[in-house]
Structure 1
C-alpha cells in the first residue's frame, strides 16, 4: 500500500508525501494491514470529508476515534525560509517511521489555530509496542500480588490529616512482574491491548524509535534522531500529550484523568501539608521524575527537625542577647565609649569609638553563642542521618517500584545517537563480538584537554570576579566612612547603618548579581563543551555535565562565603605594618564582635536571593510565556484549538529539566550544611522554600509544561556521591567556623585563663582583646589627615595577652 499526503482541496501539500511500502524492510506489520488503499489514505493524512467540529478539542485520538495519539511532531513549512533540505529530511524521516510500523496522521496548517503549523500525530500499534517492550526489557504484570500488606501502625490515625485518599495514593493494584516477552504473551495479564501499556510506557517506546530513526546522509555521514531534527529546525517540537485538561475531567474516561487528579490533589499550594502521591507521579511521569519528588519530599521532612533545633538555638541567642557581657561593655559609654579605635583605612579614615559597633555586636550574639557550637555538632549528626535514611527510603522505593534488579535503563546504557553519528570508525566489542562505533584515544585526549582548560578558565574567572568584589569592599569602605561618620563625635551619623555594615551589604548584593550573570553564561558553555566531548551513553553525558555544572556553581556560590569565613581579618597586620592587596588596598579587618555577623549577612543575601529568583524563574516566567503564546495562538475563534495545539503552546521541560532541579536543591543543601554554624535559621529558610518548591515544581510540571517523556531511574544518580562529599566537607567547615571565625575559642581561653572576676567571669574581655598603639608611631603615608581628638593612643583588634 502506498500513501500520499494531500491537503483538503486535494492538491499536494507542502508537507511530506509518502511513497513507501508500509511493510517494506520491516518485520513489524503496519496497523493498516487489511485496509483498502482508500481507507488507509483517509486514516493517514487525507482531510476530505472530515468535519473538525465533530471532534472534541480535548480529543487525544486519531480522526477514527480509536487510535490514541502517543506522540506529536510539529513543524512550520515555509519554503521562503528553509528551502528543500528540511522538506526532504521530513519526508525521509516520516517514511522511515512508517517502515518501523508506526501510524502517522498529519494535520494541515490550514486547520491549525495560527494557520502556519503542521502537526504529525503518531500512534504505536500493538505489534510495535510488544516488539520494543522486549527490546527495552520493560517489566509488565504477570499476576496480582497476593502477599498480605504489612500491619498498620496503631498511631496511623494521628497522621490522617496529612494523608491523601487511598484511590489517589494507590492508583493500581500491586503486581508480580517479569520482562516482557513477545513470544510468551499468554503469561501476562493482557485484558485489553489498548490499556495494557500505560501512556508513559507508550511514549517512552515511541521516543526510543524517534531517537534512532534515520533521515538520510549528509557529507557522507549517517544522520538520524529527532533531537538533531529539532536542533536544525526541521521540526519545531516533539512531545507526548497530556491525558486531559488539568482543570477538568475528560469526557472519555478510557485512559483516566491522571493529570486532573495530580493537579487537584498535588499541585495546589493549599495541599502543602499533604503527602505526595508518589505512585501516581511515577505512573504518569515515569520513575525518574517520581524519584526526584520522593527525594525532595524526604529532604523537606528531614529539614523540619533541623529547622526546629536551629530555631531553638536562635531563640536562645535572642533571650540571652541582653546578658551578653561583650556587647554590654562595647555599648557602655564609660567602656566602649572611651575606647578610641585605630582608623580602618589609610589617610582618609578617622579614629572611631568602639561603641559605634554596639548594634552589630548585639546582633552578632544571636548567631555567635554557646548554642552555635551545639548546633554545629547537631548538623554534623543530622547530615549523616539524612543520607543514611535516604538510602533506606530509596531501597524501599526500588522494591515497591520493581527496580531491585534494575542496573541502568537500556535507553541510557545504549549508545547515544549523537555518538553513533559522529564516530565513523568502528571496532569489535570483546563482549558482544559486534562492531561498534568508537572515538579514537587521541581524539578523546584532545577533547578532554580542551574541555578541562575551558572549565579551569571559567573557575579562574569566578576567582577574578571575587577578587574584584574584595577590591570593591576595600576601596569603597573609605568612601562610606568619610560621609557616614562625624569627625567631631567619632560616631556614625546613623546608629543602624555603619560603614562596615553598608560595605558588607552592598558587596554581598553585587556579588549575588555577578553570580547570576556567570551562571547564565556558564550553563551554555557547560552544555557546549559536554557535547563537544561526545559522551558514549546518556548516563555518561549527564554525569559529565553534572560534574561540570556542580564544580562551577560550587565555586561560584560558595567562594565569597569561604573568603569571609576563613580569610577576612586573618592577614591584616597591625598599625604601622599593615598588609596590602596589590600593594594598594589595605586588607579588611573584622568587626570587634567578630566576622561571623558578616558571614551571616553574606549567606542570607545569597541564599535568599537565589531562592526568590529561582521561584520567579520557575513559576512566573513560564506562566507569562505560556499566556503570551496562547494569546498569539487564539487568533481565529472559528478554528478548533485542539489538544495537540494546546500542549504545543506550553513550555518544553527538556532533557535537562530535572538536572536543574537537582542542582538547585544540592546547592541549597550546601548552604545549610557548609556554613550553618554561622546561621542557625538557614534550615528554616530552606524548609519554607522547599514546601513552596514542591508545589511550584508540581504546578509547573502539571500545568505549564508539556508532558515529559517517561524514563526509568532507580536512584538520584551521581547526586548521591556529591551529597556524600558535601556532608564530609560540612563537618570540616563548621569546625573551622567555630574555631577561627567565631569568638568562641578566644572567649573560652579568657574565661579559663585570664578571668579574675568570679561573679562576672567575662568582665574585661573586650579590653583584654584589644592592643594599644601610639599614634605618634603612625607612618606619614598612613596616618589620618587630621587628629581632632586629645588622645595619644588607639586600640586595634588583636589579643594583647598573647603578645
Structure 2
C-alpha cells in the first residue's frame, strides 16, 4: 500500500474459505500519524511533589499489589516533535491500534470514477471483509513466562475481571493502556460512582432499618390496626356496583409496610441524597481532571477532530477550510436542517407512542382493579372469620404487581425497537465527527428511555389518586372507567413496588444479555469450528471467534448506568433501598463488563476521550430534577405533610392544658364522611352486603371534605386548604434550601485541584523551554555564513530562512 503499512495474508486453519489480512504499521508511519492524531510523548519525569486526592487516599488500600501490576511512571508530556522518539520501545506503540484504524478508515479502495470509495467501514458493510480488529496479547488464562514482557490480558483478567477480585479497585492505568482512554474513563466513572454509592447505601439502609423498627409503634398504624378504631370504620366502595363496603383494619399490613418507607427518616434521606448527588458530580469533575492530565487528554477537545469516514463518503459538497483557508473539506450544505427536522419529528412520534402505552397500562389498571375486587371478595365469601386474610392479598396489591410487570415488558419491547430507529435517524442526520454522532444518539436514546422508564413512576407518584372526586360523584376516564384511588395510606407503597420491580428486572435482564448471550454464542461458535488437536489455531483466528463489541461500543453501558442513576436520585424518597440495590448491581456490573471485554469480546480499537461526553450534562440535569421530584413525592405522595399539619394545627392531647400535641385521632381526621343514601344509580353497590354491614348509614373515604348536612357539603374543608398550603410551602422552602446548598457546594469545590494546576503550569513551562531551546539551536545553524560563489550572503537572508523555518 502507498500509505506505508505492510500487509500479510494468511490462510485460515479452521475454514479454508477465510483469508486473514494482517496489517503491520512501521515505526516511522506511527511517528507520522502521531502528529496527525496529536499524540503526546514523555519529555521528563514529574519533579513536583505528589499529592494524593481524597478519593485515592480512601481507596489506595484496595488496589492490586504493585508487584503484580507495576505502577505507571509519571511524566510530563508534550507533542511528538518536542519529544525524544529515537527508540521504538516507548509509549508511542500503545496507540498503534488507534493509528492503524485511522489509516484503514481512510484508505481508498476504488480510484476509478468520480465517487469516493474508501474506508474499512464500507468494506465491512459491503461484506468484503467480515471483521477488523486489533489482536489480544495472548490467552487470558495463561501467564506470560517472560518477566520483561507480561501478558497484560492475563493481568487484567486475574486482577480485575475475575470474581475473586470483586473487592479490589480497578487498575485504571493498565485498562487505559490496553483498551484506550475511552474505555478507561468509563470504568473510572463507574468505579467512582460505585464508591460514592456506598455512603448513600449506608444512609438509605439506616433509614430503612429505622422505619422497619418503628412500624409497630407509629400512631397512625396502630389506629388502622386497632379493632376499636380501624375495625369500626366502614370504608366506601372503591369501584362502582361490584365493589362492597370494607373495614379499614383490613389494610393493617399494608399500613405497616407504608410506615417502613413513609417516615421522618425518609425526609432526611431525601435531603441527604440531594446533597450527595452534588458532591458526587463535583468530586467526579476533580477526579476526571486528574485522569485527563495523567492520560494526556487535557487538550483533546481543543484539537480539531477528524470527520467520520461515512461523512466524507456521503458529502458531495466541498468548501474551503475556514481554519487553514487552503484545503477543501466536505460539508452537508443546507440539507442538514431537513435531516435534523425529520429526526426531531420521529423522536416526538415515539415519545407520544410511549405515552399512549402508559395510558393503555392505566386503562388496564382500571379494568383489572374491578376484576380483582370482584374475584377476591367473592372468593373469601365475606366471611368474618376469613376477613383478616384480605389484608395480605388486596385488589390494589394484585393490580399494582401485575401492571408493574406488564409495564416492564412493554418498556423492554419498546427499547429494542426504538434502538434501531434511533440509530437509523442519527445515520440519516449524518453528523460530521464521531463525537457529534454519539452526542446526537445519546440525546435521542436518553430522552426516549427517560419517558419509557419513568413515565409510569411519575403517574403513580403525581397523578394517581389525585383527581378522583368523592363516592357520590366520582371522576371517570373516557367516561367509562372510574379513576383509581390510593390506599388509605397513600400511593407511596405502590410507587415503591413499581421501582423495585423495574430496577430488579432491568438489572437481571441486562446481566443475561451481557453474560449469558456472549458466552453461549462463543461456545456455539467454538463447537462449530473446532479442529483437530494437532492443529494450532493462531491468535488472530482465536480472536475472530470472540464476539464483536459493536459500533456504539460503550453507549449502552453508559445508558444503563445513567437510567439507574435516575432511579437512585429521582424517586429515592419513596425507596431508600434504591442506592443499596444499585451498589450491589454495580459491583457485579464492573466485573461483568471487565469479564466481557477481557474474555468474551474482541479487543476494541483504542480511542481517545477527555470525559464521559454528553452524559455529564445529562447527569447534572437529572440531579437538578431530583430535588423537585423528591420534594414533590414527600409533599404530594406521602402523608408526611398532612400528619404534620394535623399535629401542629388540629390536634391537642386530652390529658394536657391544650399546649401538648399528639397524633392520636389522625386517621379519623383524614377520612371524610359520606351518606350511603347519596349514591347515584351508576355507583351504588349491588353486591350482597355482609350481615355486619346491614345497619350502616355512612361510609368513609380518603379526602378532606365537609360532612353531609354542612352548608357546603362534600366541598373541600378548611383542613384541605391548610394541607395544600403546607405542601406548597414545604416544596418552595425545601427546594430553595437544597438548591442554595448545591450552589454553595459547587462554588466551594473547584473542578481542578490546586496541585494539578501547578503540574499543568509546570508542564507548559517545560514545553516552552524546550521549544525555545530548539528554535535557538536552529537559529545558530542557519546563521552560519552561506556562500554563493565567492560572496557571503547578507545576514538578512539567514534571518529570512530562520523566520521561514519557524513559520512552517
Q: So what's the TM-score if we normalise by structure 1?
A: 0.83
1:626–1:651 CA contact under 8 A, matched in 2? yes
Deviation at 1:505, TM superposition (A): 0.5
Pairing 1:548–2:444 present: yes
Relative to structure 1, is the Cα distance of residues 423 and 323 closer, same or farther in structure 2, using a 3 angstrom cutoff? Answer: same
Q: How does 1:695-774 map to 2 (within 5 A)?
A: 695-757=591-653, 761-774=662-675
Relative to structure 1, is the Cα distance of residues 516 and 151 closer, same or farther in structure 2, using a 3 angstrom cutoff? Answer: closer
Q: How does 1:528-677 map to 2 (within 5 A)?
A: 528-677=424-573
In structure 1, runs of 5+ residues without a counterpart are 1-97
Aligned residue pairs total: 693
In structure 2, runs of 5+ residues without a counterpart are 656-660, 707-715, 718-808
Pairing 1:394–2:307 present: no
2:196 alignment partner in structure 1: 302
After alignment, is 522-531 or 489-498 more displaced?
489-498
Deviation at 1:168, TM superposition (A): 4.8
Hey, what's the Cα distance between the residues in 1 that align with 2:317 and 2:395?
A: 65
Instruction: Give 1:163's match in structure 2, choosing from 63, 79, 87.
Output: 63
Q: So what's the TM-score if we normalise by structure 2?
A: 0.83
Q: How does 1:74-473 map to 2 (within 5 A)?
A: 98-109=1-12, 112-150=13-51, 161-168=61-68, 170-181=70-81, 187-188=83-84, 190-191=86-87, 193=88, 195-197=89-91, 200-216=94-110, 220-251=114-145, 255-407=149-301, 413-433=305-325, 434-441=327-334, 443-473=335-365
Kindly provide the CA deviation profile for residues 547-593 of structure 1, in whole angstroms up to 9, marking residues without a partner as x: 00000000000000000000000011111211111111111000101
Kindly provide the CA deviation profile for residues 230-251 of structure 1, in whole angstroms up to 9, marking residues without a partner as x: 1121111000001111101245
Relative to structure 1, is the Cα distance of residues 220 and 672 closer, same or farther in structure 2, using a 3 angstrom cutoff? Answer: same
Deviation at 1:339, TM superposition (A): 1.5
Hey, what's the Cα distance between the residues in 2 that align with 1:740 and 1:693?
A: 35
2:30–2:92 CA contact under 8 A, matched in 1? no
Kindly provide the CA deviation profile for residues 60-119 of structure 1, in whole angstroms up to 9, marking residues without a partner as x: xxxxxxxxxxxxxxxxxxxxxxxxxxxxxxxxxxxxxx121111111124xx21333211
1:512–1:609 CA contact under 8 A, matched in 2? yes
2:366 alignment partner in structure 1: 474
1:169–1:278 CA contact under 8 A, matched in 2? no
1:409–1:712 CA contact under 8 A, matched in 2? no
User: The residue matched to 1:142 in structure 2 has which SS?
Assistant: strand
2:69–2:155 CA contact under 8 A, matched in 1? no
1:793 alignment partner in structure 2: 698
Deviation at 1:430, TM superposition (A): 2.4
Pairing 1:685–2:586 present: no
Deviation at 1:199, TM superposition (A): 5.0
Deviation at 1:302, TM superposition (A): 0.7
Instruction: Give 1:781's match in structure 2, choosing from 677, 682, 691.
Output: 682
1:307–1:683 CA contact under 8 A, matched in 2? yes
Deviation at 1:312, TM superposition (A): 0.8
Kindly provide the CA deviation profile for residues 449-492 of structure 1, in whole angstroms up to 9, marking residues without a partner as x: 21111101110111011111111100011111112124534747
2:240–2:684 CA contact under 8 A, matched in 1? yes
After alignment, is 365-374 or 413-422 more displaced?
413-422
Deviation at 1:642, TM superposition (A): 1.4
Hey, what's the Cα distance between the residues in 2 that align with 1:797 and 1:345?
A: 14
2:242–2:687 CA contact under 8 A, matched in 1? no
User: The residue matched to 1:204 in structure 2 has which SS?
Assistant: helix
Hey, what's the Cα distance between the residues in 2 that align with 1:787 and 1:152?
A: 72
Relative to structure 1, is the Cα distance of residues 199 and 621 closer, same or farther in structure 2, using a 3 angstrom cutoff? Answer: farther
2:180–2:608 CA contact under 8 A, matched in 1? yes
2:230–2:247 CA contact under 8 A, matched in 1? yes
Q: How does 1:49-88 map to 2 (within 5 A)?
A: none
User: The residue matched to 2:19 in structure 1 has which SS?
Assistant: strand
2:749 alignment partner in structure 1: none
1:114–1:634 CA contact under 8 A, matched in 2? no
Kindly provide the CA deviation profile for residues 501-544 of structure 1, in whole angstroms up to 9, marking residues without a partner as x: 01000100100000000001111110000000000111110100
User: The residue matched to 1:654 in structure 2 has which SS?
Assistant: coil
Hey, what's the Cα distance between the residues in 1 that align with 2:73 and 2:66?
A: 11
Kindly provide the CA deviation profile for residues 110-144 of structure 1, in whole angstroms up to 9, marking residues without a partner as x: xx213332111111112211111111111112333
User: The residue matched to 2:230 in structure 1 has which SS?
Assistant: coil
2:111–2:117 CA contact under 8 A, matched in 1? yes
Hey, what's the Cα distance between the residues in 2 that align with 1:253 and 1:205?
A: 28
User: The residue matched to 2:611 in structure 1 has which SS?
Assistant: coil
Instruction: Give 1:514's match in structure 2, choosing from 404, 410, 416.
Output: 410
After alignment, is 716-725 or 343-352 more displaced?
343-352
Kindly provide the CA deviation profile for residues 650-679 of structure 1, in whole angstroms up to 9, marking residues without a partner as x: 111123121111111111100010000001
1:81 alignment partner in structure 2: none
2:185–2:609 CA contact under 8 A, matched in 1? yes
After alignment, is 393-402 or 529-538 more displaced?
393-402
Hey, what's the Cα distance between the residues in 2 that align with 1:455 and 1:150?
A: 48
Instruction: Give 1:527's match in structure 2, choosing from 411, 415, 423.
Output: 423
Relative to structure 1, is the Cα distance of residues 468 and 199 closer, same or farther in structure 2, using a 3 angstrom cutoff? Answer: farther
Deviation at 1:197, TM superposition (A): 4.7
Deviation at 1:639, TM superposition (A): 3.1
1:564–1:595 CA contact under 8 A, matched in 2? yes
Deviation at 1:402, TM superposition (A): 2.5
Deviation at 1:800, TM superposition (A): 4.0
Relative to structure 1, is the Cα distance of residues 179 and 758 closer, same or farther in structure 2, using a 3 angstrom cutoff? Answer: farther
Q: CA RMSD in A?
A: 2.0
Kindly provide the CA deviation profile for residues 306-345 of structure 1, in whole angstroms up to 9, marking residues without a partner as x: 1111111111101111111111111112221221111111
Hey, what's the Cα distance between the residues in 2 that align with 1:469 and 1:165?
A: 53
Hey, what's the Cα distance between the residues in 1 that align with 2:644 and 2:291?
A: 48
2:42–2:76 CA contact under 8 A, matched in 1? yes
2:263–2:640 CA contact under 8 A, matched in 1? yes
Relative to structure 1, is the Cα distance of residues 325 and 567 closer, same or farther in structure 2, using a 3 angstrom cutoff? Answer: same
1:207–1:709 CA contact under 8 A, matched in 2? yes
Relative to structure 1, is the Cα distance of residues 121 and 408 closer, same or farther in structure 2, using a 3 angstrom cutoff? Answer: farther
Hey, what's the Cα distance between the residues in 2 that align with 1:232 and 1:149?
A: 52
Deviation at 1:189, TM superposition (A): 5.1
1:67 alignment partner in structure 2: none
Hey, what's the Cα distance between the residues in 1 that align with 2:169 and 2:589?
A: 14
